[in-house]
Structure 1
Amino acid sequence: MQQEPLHALAHNPTETRTQRLVRTFQGITQKDGWKGLNVPGVAAYFYTIHELRWLVAVWQIPWLSVEGAMHAEHAEAGSTLAKLSTPGNLATGAFARVSIGFVLNPITVVKSRFESSNFARDAYPTVRSSLRSIYRDAGFRGFFRGYSATALRDAPYAGLYLAFYEHGKHLLSRLVLDGTAQVNSGKWWVVGTSSILAGTLATIVTQPFDIIKTRMQTTPTNILEQEALKRRKSATALAVARHVLKTNGIGAFADGLGLRCARKAASSMIGWSIFELGNRWAVQGATRK
């Protein structure tokens, strides 16, 4: 839904967002089956954020760390994440997400094009052939098309998510039993609810950047040239944003927002619940031994 509707609007300008959603869903399942709706995991991000927060807590970095809050003590209190200040949550979340995004961006470009109807399916049969095709089309820069917009989306999203998530756990746990807020913060429903709220709020804030990133990665190179968006075989995020605003209006930046909120909320709840509760179980098991 987020890719530029090169022909859809011209053929059916009266199509509503709901009709477009149904048509897109049916097209994916008919062409690729239910597996076409799958998305990759974020195991690398969980590992990175866990280790990075532990290092920041141990090193006691001004403004980022909380004085006296060590990783082990915080884990025993009901959380598997080292306790940091709000700026610490923002900084570590942003740094971890942007770093992982840079490493995985070539695969993200392949994934976006594989899912896009703007590219022929036989042009991207495997990951290896896809990478070769992208290199022939745009050189090494092609592997990082859309990274600027991805970073502009992921940095605030990850930072805001962790800030909302940690504050959400603290507030929700205090609503249950006074004096046991730290213990309650490790309960599954506190983790799950905080994840849903944090994922939804952070998604809404960063939605425009997700649209720009998708357009940059799924619009064919010849279209970028025609629209004067190409600079050294790579469109800039600002140029694409102006193009979207000019051709589709400001409403285009909300395309797929409902679906993205639902996906982010659900994946955040599942991922962070498994990570927090599973890691806490492992830590407690190691402590008992």
Structure 2
Amino acid sequence: MAAQARLSQPSPSSSSSSSSSSISQINPAAQPLRPPPYATLLSGALSGLTSCVLLQPLDLLKTRLQQAHGSHAPFGGKTRRLLRTIEGVVEKDGVKGLWRGTVPTILRNVPGVAAYFYSVTELRRALGSRPVAYLSTANAASSSSSSSSAATPTSTGNLLAGATARVVVGFILCPITVVKARFESSNFAPSENRTLALSLRSIYAEGGVKGLFRGFSATALRDAPYAGLYLMFYEALKVGLAPALGEAGEEGDAKAETTQSRMVAGLCAGTLATFATHPFDIIKTRVQTQRVRQEGAEGASAALLGIRAVLTGAGASTGGARPPLSSLFFDGLGLRCARKALSSAIGWGIFEGGRDLWVKRERQRLARESGNVIVER
């Protein structure tokens, strides 16, 4: 049988063209590869861990500036207020005090970012499976064998996918968000929040189950538009920046995305989305860093209490003229913009880079198994 099989094989000279055609048809480098869920989740978790550890001081300082507007001189410069806040934290807790709240931040961000990226990926893939009115448009080359999807999400589709994924994940992790805000706040002594479990018990004792979700309405009002706007801006900017910062794709029909183009798009998208949603971040911080009182409202009305607290200057430790409305609702904007822009650039850069790394290694594996050689460029 082996001899018969060898005799049935065509000679190399007579089959060179057909062999080349066959190889090109099964060339792994030309086939679209879909990273498995574990690669998406792992890339998202790594991006969340990196950004939250590096940028936690910015989050803590932002919380301190927002929690008690008016505790500083009303006409003091923002830089002076920031320096005073840093000095106060370092004097009280040392340099490591700038990383107070890192543990709940990691516990929230690592699974949260991983779940968010996975949810966004699946929602966008669902929108790309077929054209949906107002949400996705048909690809011109959808019938091509190299096309990985039949449609491309529109700006509205990206906005809806980002907002939906963020709200669902935010609701699940809201108790950890409340703990994180209290860890970062100076309204609560470190002894009250020595551990995550102790802090959760304290919150439950004060407000029950509803206390664990305190401020969710304000959080959703911030996170839903932020995530939606961010994804919309990011995808549009990434496409627009690709010709300038990318390189010609291997098939020559598109511009390849690079880490540089993704990070620049992430910085710009993060800044724009942060500016648009910052007032809701002020309200969320006020709601989650104030102690529950007997007359305190719960549920959706907590957001209204947060708005009233901002407008009336609640939490101020000193008197004086009330600051202008623009200052009330944009306190800590610079810090949040810096953190969100850097976090978005780092997060999306690592996330998409991790998925690209999986695709690259998988293509190399398939090439070795099929006897093809992929030349790295």
Deviations 1:62-105 (A, max 9, x none): 322232487x95679xxxxx841111100000001111100110
**Larger RCO (CA within 8 A; separation ≥ 6):** 2
Q: Counterparts of 1:86-125 in structure 2 under 5 Å?
A: 86-125=155-194
Q: Counterparts of 1:9-24 in structure 2 under 5 Å?
A: 9=72, 12-24=73-85
The DSSP-based 3-state class of the residue aligned with 1:3 is helix
Q: Following TM superposition, by how much is the alpha carbon of 1:110 offset from its aligned partner in structure 2, in angstroms? A: 0.4
Q: Which residue of 1 aligns with 2:305?
A: 239
Q: Structure 1 residues 147 and 261 mapped into 2: Cα distance closer, same or farther (>3 Å)?
A: same
Amino acid at match of 1:198: A
Q: Which residue of 1 aligns with 2:197?
A: 128
Which runs of 5 or more residues in structure 2 are unaligned? 1-63, 314-321, 367-377
The DSSP-based 3-state class of the residue aligned with 2:153 is coil
Q: Following TM superposition, by how much is the alpha carbon of 1:126 offset from its aligned partner in structure 2, in angstroms? A: 1.0
Are 2:351 and 1:275 equivalent residues in the alignment? yes
Are 2:86 and 1:25 equivalent residues in the alignment? yes
Query: How far apart, CA to CA, are the structure 1 residues paired with 2:66 and 2:81?
Result: 12
TM-score (norm 1): 0.85
Q: Structure 1 residues 52 and 252 mapped into 2: Cα distance closer, same or farther (>3 Å)?
A: same
Amino acid at match of 1:270: I
- Contact 2:246 / 2:256 at 8 angstroms: preserved in 1? no
Are 2:68 and 1:5 equivalent residues in the alignment? yes
Q: Counterparts of 1:208-223 in structure 2 under 5 Å?
A: 208-222=279-293
Q: Which residue of 1 aligns with 2:121?
A: 50
TM-score (norm 2): 0.66
Q: Counterparts of 1:159-198 in structure 2 under 5 Å?
A: 159-175=228-244, 183-198=254-269
Identity, % of aligned positions: 45
Q: Which residue of 1 aligns with 2:100?
A: 36
Deviations 1:115-171 (A, max 9, x none): 101112111111111111111101111011111011011111011001111110111
Query: How far apart, CA to CA, are the structure 1 residues paired with 2:185 and 2:246?
Result: 49
Amino acid at match of 1:243: A
RMSD of equivalent CA atoms:
2.8
Q: Structure 1 residues 97 and 204 mapped into 2: Cα distance closer, same or farther (>3 Å)?
A: same
Amino acid at match of 2:277: T
More helix by share: 1
- Contact 2:163 / 2:226 at 8 angstroms: preserved in 1? yes
Q: Following TM superposition, by how much is the alpha carbon of 1:183 offset from its aligned partner in structure 2, in angstroms? A: 4.2
Q: Structure 1 residues 132 and 116 mapped into 2: Cα distance closer, same or farther (>3 Å)?
A: same
Question: Which of the residues 208, 223, 242 maps onto 1:139?
Answer: 208
Deviations 1:39-66 (A, max 9, x none): 5332221122112221222254332223
Query: How far apart, CA to CA, are the structure 2 residues paired with 1:186 and 1:284?
Result: 14
Q: Following TM superposition, by how much is the alpha carbon of 1:13 offset from its aligned partner in structure 2, in angstroms? A: 4.5
Query: How far apart, CA to CA, are the structure 1 residues paired with 2:177 and 2:147?
Result: 35
Are 2:138 and 1:67 equivalent residues in the alignment? yes
Q: Following TM superposition, by how much is the alpha carbon of 1:234 offset from its aligned partner in structure 2, in angstroms? A: 7.6
Query: How far apart, CA to CA, are the structure 2 residues paired with 1:178 and 1:188?
Result: 11
Q: Which residue of 2 aligns with 1:79?
A: none
- Contact 1:192 / 1:269 at 8 angstroms: preserved in 2? yes
- Contact 1:134 / 1:142 at 8 angstroms: preserved in 2? yes
Which runs of 5 or more residues in structure 1 are unaligned? 77-81
Are 2:327 and 1:261 equivalent residues in the alignment? no
- Contact 1:170 / 1:182 at 8 angstroms: preserved in 2? no
Query: How far apart, CA to CA, are the structure 1 residues paired with 2:239 and 2:335?
Result: 28
Aligned residues: 276
- Contact 2:214 / 2:299 at 8 angstroms: preserved in 1? no
- Contact 1:102 / 1:147 at 8 angstroms: preserved in 2? yes
Larger Rg: 2
